[in-house]
Every structure is written in structure tokens, then in C-alpha cells.
Structure 1
Amino acid sequence: MWEGSVPLVRQRLTRGRLFLHRDGSVFLAIRMAERRGKPLCMAHRIGRRVKVRKGAPVLRGIHLEDIQALLPQKLDLPLELEPEELRARLEALDLGSTGRRQWPLEAGSGREQEELAPQDQTASGWLWRSFLQHLEFLKQTGFVDRQDRLTPEGRWASRLRLDHPVLVAEAIRMGVFEGRSAPVLAGLMAPFVLDRDREVLIRGHDLEEMAEAFDALVGAIYDMGRLLAESGFPTPVLQFWPAAAAYLWARGLSWKELTAAVSLDEGDLVSLIVRTADHLRQVCDLEETHPGLAHAARLALRRIQREPAIYT
């Protein structure tokens, strides 16, 4: 998540802004919308043919959590543009020719900087620099080999479509999740879904089991988190209260009991649980390489998918 802030993204995601999706694609923001109470950016993927339906371009709805970075360039798109003119502008847009104003440069090795022409400040050049930086980091951490191929660990880690996949993968490599109960596993996944720090109180429950597991998680991924930060990548500040909240919910507390124990708005509490469930689903996909962990994730998922914290 770009700078770890959905509100900041929404504020700056104006019409015509280019942004980088978490899957590496570049999109052009057209307008904001809402689906089931969640904000979306209706956008066009650069490089794709524009489809028109009922006189308007067909756009893709992007969840704000899936936006990796807001790019500094912006295309002038007046609101009064006719649909066909908008379509023509979108199809004419070329990442290599959208301008050459200072794109943010990623830190890289001298070899990487030499491979890139100094005048290449376009979006495509920025993406290439970002790709090289990620590739070098994945080599350092054992997810990619010297031939730029995924290692066995890299293959299963690549299935984790999460906000912080490297940290979750490191926790798996270090065995933090192994042998944990379903409530504890739900609690261990919850801190990774937050997009900002906040102070929340947990009242009136025994959390010793969860606290021990949380301490083990923080200790196991500390070195990887430091390496991420030193390499210029965003790293989350893991907080205990999301772990405690998800743990209590997975233990079977009623919604009334949970909201009494956690000093958090109910809407935010639902969002925390729903996003934790999304993370657990990703772990469920590791059946082939981590069958025990995948089974535990399915148990945890069943425990937290209860009304009103269900999103379909």
C-alpha cells in the first residue's frame, strides 16, 4: 500500500493521475466510485485496448489497498470530453511518451544505474528501475536464484498476494505459524492487514497465549524487516491489538462481547476481520508445500467468518 495510507491515496488520486497497481500494471485514474461501501478508483489499464459500452469506456474498479504507488505525472482529462475523444486519448497514451519530468528514482546498485540510460525518466524507466530493485532484493533473501529464476521458496511465496508478502513468507520460513491453534493463527495474520498505526485498548481477557505468539512473530521477522527498510521498501509497524482482536473473535466471543473488549469502531473492526480472512485464504493456497499450515488456515478462516464480519 502506497505510504501505508488509504486516506492519503484517496485524497491525491485525482482524475488523470497515473498509478502503479500491486501486480505491476500502470493505470490511469478516471473517477472515484463505491462498491458495497468500499471506495474504488475506476481506471483504465495503460496498454490495453479501450472498450466502449453504451457510449462510455469500460473501466476497471481498483480497490485503494491494491495501489502500490501514485506516479507523479497526470494526464489532462477535462470532464466535458466526449466518450470517443476520451477513448482516443486513452489509446494514444504511451508510457514512454507521457513526459520526462522527474520520476522518483529507486535506490539501486551501480550496475543497475549503468544499465539505465540517464535520460530515461519516463514511467517505463521508473518501472524498470523498480523491477531491478525488487529483483536484487529477492536474490539477497533467497527467493530468486542467480539466473533470475524463482527458487522453491520463491515459488510458494509468489502465491501470497498480500500487502506484505515477504514478511509473511519469512514468518512461514521461520516456522512461526507451525503448530499454532486456529485462534492464534488468525491473530498472527491480523497485524499485517493494517494500513496505519492507531491506539486501541483491549479489555478484560486473558491474552497470554496470543502475546507469546506475537512476540515470536516480531522476533522472527525482525531481520527481514530491517533489510526491507534498508533497501528502501515500506515496512509495517506490527501492533498487538489487531492480533488480540482477531484472536478473541476466533475463540468464539460474540460480537457484543468483542465490541465491549476492543475500543474500536464497529466498521473498522469488521474491516480488520474481513481483511484478515483474505490473508488466511492466501495461506490456504499453500496446500502443496505447507499442508499443515494450509489446514490450520482453513480452520482459522471458518472461525472468523461469522456475522457480521463477512464480506462476499
Structure 2
Amino acid sequence: MYKYLLIGGNGFIGTNIIYKLLEKKRDIFCIDLYDSNTKKISNKHFNSFINDLSNTELVKELVDASDIIIYLASVSNVRNSSNDSLIELGNIENFINFLEIVKEYKNKKVVLASSGGAIYGETKDPVNENHTLMPISPYGIGKLSMENFLRYYSLKYGINYVICRYSNPYGQYQNPFSGVGVINKLLYNYHTGNETKIIGTPDGSVRDYIYISDLVDATIKVSESKFADNNVFNIGSGVGYSLTHILNEIESVLDDTLRIKKGDFGMENVSKIVLDISKINKKVEWSPKISLRDGIILNNEWIKFYLNVEENNMASPKVGNYFKQKID
């Protein structure tokens, strides 16, 4: 029965991992700057600490008490780091400080959340883990730097690791105000009567979307499998969908028309990225279970649940503030 430490665990991905680990009755420690999605959890297997990595003594205690450490902490995304590249220095510094602590402990496994959507740069075909890495955004460059530091510390100090290069996840607990997650944002705006600004040409923007439960299952599987040690894995659906396809699929699920407006496509956004997921399938026999349509249906039901939307799609006046409090 592994004991987990999630660093930055109160965000979208971390929250879903925590709930799944609790189903499996794993012991979990979580450290994060913010107490949001998990603050109401009352479970003997879960301990949450609202702090940051500068509290070295606390981090040491939590690392010592854990077997597997999932590192999710980040203060950036493609959009905000493109406006302020220096933000990535903080992410890299925090990660190095963390590695300086972990190197003193043996038999720990570090799972790093990286980005399959930003680290490869512009591509044509589904890309495998050996593809040339040419990120075109500060966010992707920051993720690549963290990957390289993890490999260095592994070689020098014997740290076991797994690098998870996630595609575009969507689903429950995703924050529609974070600037990422087009599916979640479109559904949220639909139910609150707002329009959504989309970036770029819908036909030319192709992404690999993965429903959050599939991402969580893959992450836990590589975390607990010795066959995954010291490997990099693409984690996605393995299928590319244009934004036009996403819009049509959502409108089909809703049986209604979305309100959208077009925005400029930033040079830091790749036009197409689809991940080759054959490696993780071979190493640990994982493959996604949730289709795009089923994922949209699940995401839509979750949005409706939290916004208390009636069958006529009319949101209550307090919806906006309530939703902001409930998520990141």
C-alpha cells in the first residue's frame, strides 16, 4: 500500500488523483499554496498542508513519510508565461529545491507532470517520446528544463522517476477561469449564457484531448509499476480533433448552438499536436476508456451539477461566485 505525496495537489489534476487514490485507500499527503477543491475532505487517509516548498522542514517530513511523490506544482500556463517569461524561473527554482531535498532520501519515486501539448513544438504526425523537443512557448521550455533536471538528479543520486507528458485534459474540477481547457470553458459559458473566445482557425487547430479519469488512471498506473521506472510517457487519447470537431460535438451533445467569438492565435500556440501513446500501452498495458463524446457528456453533467442548472439551461444568479469558490 503505497503512501503518496502530491505537491500542488489541490488543482485540477491533483484533486482528481486524490479522490481516486482515496477510493484505493492509499495514504495521501498534499501540500499546496491554496486550499480549494479538497478542503472539505474528511478521511483518515488524507492530510492536507497549506504551505509552499520554502518550508523545507515540512517538505522533508512529507517526503520521508511517502513512497511516491507526484509533482504537479506550477504557477504558469502557455498564455501567462508567454506574457511574462520570467514566471518560469520560479517553477524551475521550486523544482530544483524540491530535488535537493529528495536526493537525500532513498527508495522514493518522483512522478513529474510535464506537457505533451507544449514540449514538442510544431509537429505533423502523432509524436512518440523520442521525437525532437522544440517547444515554442516559455511554458514548454520550462517543462523541458524540469525534465532535464530530473534526469540529471536521477543519474547523479539514483532517484527513480516517471515523466508524464499529458495532452489536453478536461473534466470535473477544471477551472474555467484559468485560461486553459476549451471544452470545460465552452460548457461553462454555455450554461451561464456567455460567449467563448476561441483562438485561431477552428479547422487548423488540432489537439489530443483526454478525459481526466483516463489521465488519472494512467498516472497512478505508472506511479505504481516498476516497469515504468525511469521512463517518459505520452499520456493522451492518441487521436487528434480539430476545434471545429469539438464545437460540433459539444453542440450535438447540448442540442443547441454555442456562442463564440474569434481571437488571435498567439505564436506560442502550436497548431497541431497528437500524441503517440503506444509506449505506455506496451509498458503498463494502459489505454484510454472514455471517448470524446462520452467525456463531453460527463463534463457537461458535472458543470450542470455544480452550477445547479435546471433543464431549461437557466443558471441561478449566484452561479458565478459559487463556481469560483468551488474550483481552483
- Bigger radius of gyration, 1 or 2? 1
TM-score by length of 2: 0.28
Relative contact order higher in (CA < 8 Å, ≥ 6 apart) = 2
TM-score by length of 1: 0.29
More helix by share: 1
More strand by share: 2
